[in-house]
Amino acid sequence: MRLQGHAETIRRLRQRSDLLTAAAMRRLDAESAWYRALPAEDRSWIGLVATSGISAFINWYENPTPTTYNAAEIFRAAPPELIRSISLQHTLALVRLLVEVVEAHTNEIATGERESELREAVLVYSREVAFSAAEVYARAAEVRGAWDARTESLAVDAILRGDDDDALRSRLATLGWDATSPVVVVAGALSAPGVEESSGELRRGARRAAGDALVGIHGDRVVLVLGGHGDLRAAATSLVPLLGDGPVVLGPVVPTVLQASQSARSALAGLAAARGWPDAPRPAQAGELLPERALSGDPEAIQILREQVYRPLAAASGPLVGTLAAYLESGRSLEAAARALFVHPNTVRYRLRRIARVSGWDPSDAREGFVLQIALVLGRLADTGDSRRFPTKA
Q: How confident is the model at residue 349 (pLDDT cuts 50, 70, 90)?
A: very high
| Cβ neighbours of residue 269 closer than 8 Å, sequence gap 6 or more | 286, 289, 293, 296, 298, 300, 301
Q: Rounded to whole angstroms, how far apart are CA atoms 363 and 325?
A: 10
Give pLDDT, residue 291.
96
Domain 297-383 has CATH 1.20.970.10: no
User: What are 258-292's pLDDT values in tens digits?
Assistant: 888 899 899 999 999 999 999 999 999 999 999 99
Task: Give the mean model confidence (pLDDT) for residues 40-67.
Answer: 75
d(CA 186, CA 283): 9
* Cα 101 versus chain centre, distance: 44
Paired residues of 227 in beta bridges: 183, 212
Instruction: For 118-165, write each residue's pLDDT tens digit.
Output: 777 777 777 776 666 666 666 555 545 544 566 677 777 777 777 766
What distance in Å separates the CA atoms of residue 231 and residue 184, rounded to the nearest whole number? 10
Q: Where are the domains of the chain?
A: 7-143, 177-288, 297-383
Q: What's the pLDDT band for 81 if we cut at 50, 70, 90? A: low
Of the listed ranges 62-71, 340-349, 350-359, 367-376, the least confidently predicted one is 62-71
pLDDT computed for residue 393 by the predictor = 42
* Exposed e or buried b per residue across 243-271, where buried means at least 16 C-beta atoms within 10 angstroms of its C-beta: beeebbbbbbbbeebbbbbbbbbbbbbbb
Chain segment 56-69, per-residue pLDDT in tens: 777 777 776 655 55
Phi, psi of 128 (to 5 degrees): -65, -40
Q: How far is CA 206 from CA 178, 216, 218, 239, in A?
A: 15, 12, 17, 7
Please calculate the CA angle 77-81-83 and round it to the nearest 5 degrees: 80
Let me know: does 189 contact 222? Beta carbons within 8 Å: yes
Dihedral sign for Cα 66, 69, 72, 76, please.
positive
**CATH fold for the domain made of 177-288:** Alpha-Beta Plaits (3.30.70)
Whole-structure pTM value: 0.60
pLDDT band at 107 (very low <50, low <70, confident <90, very high): confident
Q: What is the pLDDT of residues 165-210, one digit of tens each?
A: 666 777 776 667 777 789 999 999 877 655 455 566 777 888 888 8
